[in-house]
Amino acid sequence: MEFLEQYSNGVITALGFFWNALWAFVLGYAISAAIQVFVPKTRLTAHMGHGDVGSISLAGLFGAISSSCSFAALSAARSLFQKGAHFIATVAFMFASTNLVIELGVLIFLFLGWQFLVAEIIGGILMIAISAFLIRLTYPKDMIKAAKQHADDETGSEEDDFDWKRRIQSKSGWQQVGNRFVMEWQMVWREILIGFTIAGFIAVFVPAEFWQTLFLAGDGTGSASDLPFLTVLENALIAPFVAAATFIGSMGNIPLATVLSAGGVSFAGIMGFIYSDLMVPPLVKVNARYYGWKTALYIAGIMYASIVATALILHYVFVAFGAIPESSRDIAEVSAFAVNYTLFLNIAAFVMTGGLLWLRREGQKSTHHDHNGNSNDTHGNHDHGHHHHQDGGSFLSAKNIIVATALMLLAGGLALQIASLM
């Protein structure tokens, strides 16, 4: 009976995590969809052909307003690289599109607090700067030339230039926002489901002592500001491998990061874990398909070194300013169901979702009757989704099995909860 009770609690914790983050997801993806529809990206890509500060900054900005889906980020980065973006700018885009997007920032604030949000923003910029320095220092011209040739074998969707003022004032433009919003969810819902389910079960079944042992955190009662350097270094070094082992991704990582933080993992370890979503094996494999294994492993090595260095710098900068959090928000707090602001924000999110779904349906209707321009933009959006699924390759079938398992686990836990109340 004790196991069944823990199992049921794990399901409720997972659902509680999602409930408290739902409005943030909806708001973040709605804003992201609007930015992607109304910002003419082809005008930006024309200025990314150099590895200078301007190109890198623009790539970072472009990444921050793009999709937070890791597979989509790699697909877009490949497209930029093929269109002439410098290799350094391409890597900067990868980092920004998975670490500086709006929806991720809101989620970090809700689950981990303002210190982690500030660190995420500063660290994202710092990672881009460090990766640019490392690539420039080790720049393998022949390998990157070969990677460009390898990438040219792939084809990507092209977006025509457009007048954003005209589009934002048109009904068809907002219909595209509805379509893009749905596509964003189609790309990430599996990742979110798996991540939140795993986090819920880990929070209940895995004792804090496990994380304290793995991350050399002792009994978790010491001050985070007084951790020995070797402990902080070990945390930063091992965190990317823990992230790689979970196979979750940026959005699903946040509730699990909350569990790790509650288990006594250092600030450096938590930040290293959050930054490491592009280090998971399926994404490295996608890069290998685009650029070849040699370049994919080179990118992974640059990312790993940049993540570790960034995590260490952030830790000691925050210690110096006395801003390092001593503990994360309580797990019970961020997984609770209550009549509070979250309830009303989620109601507003449901209303917003309904409006966006209606816009999407209206856009689909009009596409059947209008082939003079609007359908071109919609077609471009569908291409984006198509390449996302294609990029996942055989991993998606394995992920679907995990998704089905997660759904069955959640359904079973809910059934137990209902049975206990009867």
364 residue type, one letter? Q
Say which residues have a Cβ less than 8 Å from residue 221's Cβ, sequence separation at least 6: none
- Cα–Cα distance, 290 to 377 (Å, whole number): 25
| DSSP string of 302-347, one letter each residue | HHHHHHHHHHHHHHHHHHHTT---SSPPPHHHHT---SSHHHHHHH
Q: Classify the phi-psi angles of 222: left when phi > 0, otherwise alpha if psi is within -120 to 50, otherwise beta.
A: beta
User: How confident is the model over 298-309, as a mean pLDDT?
Assistant: 96
pLDDT, residue 284, reads: 86
- Both tokens of 163, joined, read 């007048």
Q: What is the pLDDT of residues 28-85, one digit of tens each?
A: 788 878 877 887 766 667 778 888 899 999 889 888 877 656 767 787 788 778 778 8
Residues 201 and 405: beta-carbon distance below 8 Å: no
How does residue 202 score in pLDDT terms, banded at 50, 70 and 90? confident
- Cα–Cα distance, 18 to 406 (Å, whole number): 14
User: How confident is the model over 335-346, as a mean pLDDT?
Assistant: 84
Judge whether residue 175 has pLDDT over 50.
Answer: yes
pLDDT, residue 344, reads: 93
Q: Which residue has the higher pLDDT, 400 or 316?
A: 316
Q: Which residue has the higher pLDDT, 328 or 33?
A: 33
Judge whether residue 307 has pLDDT over 50.
Answer: yes
Q: What is the DSSP letter of 328?
A: P
For 181, 370, 371, 378, the CA distances from 367, given in Å and listed in that order, are 17, 5, 7, 8
What's the 3-state SS for 133-183?
Answer: HHHHHHCCHHHHHHHHHHHCCCCCCCCCCCCHHHHHCCHHHHHHHHHHHHH
pLDDT, residue 350, reads: 95
Residue spans of the domains in the chain: they are 2-421
Whole-number CA gyration radius for the chain: 22
pLDDT, residue 390, reads: 43
Residues 384 and 36: beta-carbon distance below 8 Å: no
User: How confident is the model over 110-133, as a mean pLDDT?
Assistant: 93
Mean pLDDT of the chain: 81
Residue with token string 């009549």: 339
Lowest mean pLDDT among 257-271, 298-312, 322-336, 395-409: 322-336
pLDDT, residue 87, reads: 93
Judge whether residue 136 has pLDDT over 50.
Answer: yes
pLDDT, residue 314, reads: 95
How does residue 251 score in pLDDT terms, banded at 50, 70 and 90? low
Which of 274, 294, 363 has the alpha carbon at shortest distance from 147? Answer: 294
How does residue 219 score in pLDDT terms, banded at 50, 70 and 90? low
Q: What is the pLDDT of residues 8-22, one digit of tens each?
A: 988 998 898 888 888
